[in-house]
Amino acid sequence: MRVLNLSNYEMVKSGIPCTITEPVQANSLIQVMQNNEKYIYWFCEKNGDVATQVSCVRVNGHFYSMPLRLEKAVFRSIRLTKDFENIEYLENGTKKLRIPLRLLREKRRTSCRLKV
């Protein structure tokens, strides 16, 4: 996991900050954040579209990128269907991705439901 520089990004949706006492590693965060999207922050490039959105977590005051293993654990409950659309609308009308694009590509690659 690496610390992100979000100076060129604007927040789309905020999550809940996480505080842990052990070093910041994916294994320790997976246990805390499994099936729990409330910890996820979404950022978009300034003047960018939905495809430029990135998800990250805030741990001990720093924003960290999410490795694929952590993304899989957090978004495990989202299932792909034939008519799956990866965009959802927030209360203020802003478009937001349901799951990160990298995880969507991985889920599509390994999903049998889309082939049926």
69-116 pLDDT per residue, tens: 999 999 999 988 888 899 999 999 899 999 999 999 999 888 765 555
Dump pLDDT digits (tens) for 6-37.
899 999 999 999 888 888 888 888 888 888 89
Instruction: Report the sign of the C-alpha dihedral through residues 9, 28, 71, 32, in that order.
Output: negative
List Cα–Cα distances, 53 to 27, 32, 38, 59, 105, in angstroms: 24, 23, 17, 19, 15
Could you tell me the pTM of the whole model? Answer: 0.87
- 19: tokens are 């505080």
Cβ-contact 45, 85 below 8 angstroms: no
